[in-house]
Amino acid sequence: MNDAEPLLSVRNLTIGFPGRPEPTVADIAFDVAAGRVTALVGESGSGKSLTAAALLGLLPGGARCRSGQMRFDGRDCDLADPRAVAALRGGEIGMIFQEPMTALNPVLTVGEQIAEGIVRHRGLGWRAAGEEAIGLLDRVGIPEPRRRARQYLHQLSGGMRQRVMIASALACRPKLIVADEATTALDVTIQAQILDLLADLQAKEGLGVLFITHDLGIVAEIADHVAVMRAGRIVETGATATVIGRPQSPYTRALIDALPGGAGFGAVRGGDAGTSAPLLEVRGLVKTFPVGGTFLGGRRTVTAVAGVDIEVRRGEVMALVGESGSGKTTIGRCIVGLETPSAGTIQFAGGGGLAPSAARRRIQIVFQDPYSSLNPKLDVAVLVGEAIAHHGLAHGADVRRRVGDLLDLVGLDRSMIDRRPAAFSGGQRQRIAIARALAVEPDLLVADEAVSALDVSVRAQIVRLLADLRDRLGLAILFITHDLALVRHFADRVAVLYLGEVMEEGPVEAVFAAPRHPYTRALLDAEPDIAHAAETARGRRSSPLSGDLPSPIDRPRGCPFSTRCPSASALCKTTPPPMTAAAAGHRYACHHPLA
C-alpha cells in the first residue's frame, strides 16, 4: 500500500435478503485512511451495522452480500466471498461491539477472553498470551490488570467491560478497528473516557477507525470524515466539519435540526411552575438492598439512595441526571411504588402516601424499552384499555372508545388499535406506552430514560409529545436521563445525583450556566458539543473525569465524589458536605464550590 492510498476502500457494496428483490443496502462506497476516523452515521434501519458486518463476514442469517469490492492494506477482496472476508477478521480487522455482555463469553475470565484471540491468530502459548492480555488491560486503562484478568465480565462496570472489548479487539494487532455503536449504552462521562482511549490508541498505533453511530455529537468530535446513511444508501459524505457545518442533504440537515436546541426539535421548555405548591414531596428517601451472603452468614448492604429530597410541581418537568449507579432509576421506582423505601417519606398532594390505589393511579411510569414493557401477545386495545377497565374509568364499548381517543392524543391512528407491539416501530411503541400511562388520568408521569434508546428524530418527536401533554393536561413529569443536552432544552429544574445523593439542584438555567459542584461541571464538560466541533477540523476534548463510581457497598466516608474530584481535600474525604443555598431555589453540597 502506498502512502496516498487509503487503508480501506469499499466500493459497490450491496446487501440483500432472500425473497426481497430490492437490496437492503445498495452501492455503498467509502474510504478509511490509516490514522484517521471515518464515521457511518444514520438512524436505525439505515444499514450502517449491516455494512460493518459485511466487512467482517458477520452478516446475520439470511443476509447476503450480492456484490462489493474491498481493498484493504493494498490487497483486493471480494466482499461477496465470506471466506475471504473472514480471513481478515480478528487478525487484521478488529471489532468493538455495542454490548460486551452479549459479544463476549460470560463463562470465561477477562484474561481468557483476550488471550483466546492471541492464541488463535498469533500462535502464542496460553501462558504467554495470558501475560500479554494483562498488558493489554493495563494499556486500555483498567486498574489492577492482573487481578481484573482473573475476574468475569459480570464483576466489572459497564465502562470496564467496554475497555475489555477494546483490549480484545487490539489483541491481534489489527490495522483497522470497526466500532459499532461502541459508546451508545454508556454514561456521558464513561463515554468520554472511551472516546479518549480510542483517540489515543488511534494516534499511537496509526489505526484506521470505522466508527458507526447515530449520535452526530460524537461524530462531530471524533471523526475526520463522515458518511450519512439513509434507507441503505449514502446520501452525503465529506469532511466532518463541512458536512455538519454546511450540510447539503435535506436528511443530514434534518438529523442536525432534530438535536436538542435544533430547528426541528422545537421549543419544548414550559413555564416555570416554581411558585406553585409541590405535587410530589420526597424527603430523606433511603433505599438499601441486601447482597451477597453464604451459608457462613454475613450479608452486606448496597445503599442505592442515601437521603434524597426532591419536589415536583404541577405542570413542570423535573429532571434527575447522573451516571449509572447514581440512584435515579431507584428513586423513580420508589415513587411509583415498584420499590419500598427503606426510610424517608413520599407524599403526593391530595393522596398522602402511595399505598391507596387511588393515589397510586395518579402516578404512572414510562420505561426505557417499550418492547419489553409491553406484552407482545396483547393488542393495543387490551394493552391500553385494561387499566381503564380495572380502575372503573369506563366500561364495555366505552373502554375501546377511550383507547381510540388516547391514540389520537399521542399521535397514532385509531386504525392501529387491534395491532400488537411487533407491528410498530420503536417510536410508535413508546407512544403506546405513553398512551397506556395516560389511560388512568395521572397527575405525574415518571419517564425513566424514556427516549434514550430512540433515534434522534424519533426522540425529538417523543419529547415534543411529552411537552404538548404537559401543556394541554397540566401534567408534571419526573424526567430521568443521562442526556444533559435534552435536560437543557426540556426540563424546568434538575437534580444532579451521584452515588445516591443530590450533589446540586435548582432551575436548569442557573445550574447549567453557573454550576457550583465539580461533578455537575464534569458532566457538562463531558457532553459532546456539535456546535464547537463544527467550527474546527476536529474538536475532541479530554474526558473531565477518570475512573468509575465507587462501590455502593463501600461508600466514601465524606463526600461521595471525593475519590474522583480534582479539588478534594482532607475535609472532603472525612466529612459529608452540607447542602448550601447558592441563590433562590439553587443549592449544592460541596466544601469547595466552584466560583
Domains of the chain: which residue ranges? 103-171, 278-505
CB-CB contact of 36 with 224 (8 Å): yes
Give the residue among 480, 474, 493, 491 at the shortest CA–CA distance from 362. 474
CA distance 102 to 162: 12
In this predicted structure, the answer to whether residue 114 has a pLDDT above a threshold of 80 is yes
Three-class DSSP labels, 68-117:
EEEEECCEEEECCCHHHHHCCECCCEEEECCCHHHHCCCCCCHHHHHHHH
**Which range has highest mean pLDDT (261-265, 276-280, 465-469, 490-494)?**
490-494
- Average pLDDT of the segment spanning 45-62: 89
Among the listed ranges 124-128, 259-263, 400-404, 528-532, which one has the minimum average pLDDT value? 528-532
Q: What are phi and psi of 335, to 5 degrees?
A: -65, -40
Residues with Cβ within 8 Å of residue 396, at least 6 apart in sequence: none
Q: Comparing 75-79, 100-104, 338-342, which segment has the lowest mean pLDDT?
A: 100-104
User: Would you state the pLDDT for residue 587?
Assistant: 97
- What integer pLDDT is reported at residue 537 of this predicted model? 45
Q: What distance in Å separates the CA atoms of residue 451 and residue 268, rounded to the nearest whole number?
A: 15
Tell me the average pLDDT across 512-516.
96
pLDDT at 128: 95
Q: 324: pLDDT confidence band, cut at 50, 70 and 90?
A: confident
Q: HSE of 84 in the Cβ direction (CA atoms, 13 Å)?
A: 13
More confident residue, 116 or 202: 116
CATH number attached to the domain at 278-505:
3.40.50.300
- Select the more confidently predicted residue: 201 or 404: 404
pLDDT at 355 over 90: no
What distance in Å separates the CA atoms of residue 368 and residue 393, rounded to the nearest whole number? 27
β strands within 127-277, DSSP E: 176-180, 208-213, 225-230, 233-239
Residue 132 · residue 115 · CB < 8 Å? yes
| pLDDT tens-place string over residues 460-504 | 888 998 999 899 889 999 999 988 989 999 999 999 999 999 999
How far, rounded to the nearest angstrom, does the alpha carbon of residue 303 sit from its chain's CA centroid?
24
- The mean per-residue pLDDT over the stretch 305-331 comes to 93
Residue with cell 464550590: 593
What is the pLDDT averaged over residues 73-83? Answer: 90
CA atoms within 13 A on the CB side of 429: 22
Q: What is the pLDDT of residue 413?
A: 93
pLDDT on residue 538: 47
Least confident of 139-148, 175-184, 350-359: 350-359
Across the beta sheet with 233-239, the strand order is 93-96, 176-180, 208-213, 37-41, 225-230, 233-239
End-to-end CA distance of the chain: 54
Q: Please, which pLDDT band fits residue 433 given cuts at 50, 70 and 90?
A: very high
Q: Measure CA 229 to chain center.
A: 21
Kindly state the greatest CA–CA separation across the chain.
76
From 92-96, 319-323, 490-494, 544-548, the region with the lowest mean pLDDT: 544-548
- Is the pLDDT reported for residue 458 higher than 70? yes
Task: Express as a percent the part of the chain with pLDDT over 90.
Answer: 57
pTM confidence score: 0.84
pLDDT band at 549 (very low <50, low <70, confident <90, very high): confident
* CA nearest neighbour of 188 among 544, 480, 447: 544
pLDDT for residue 234 is more than 50? yes
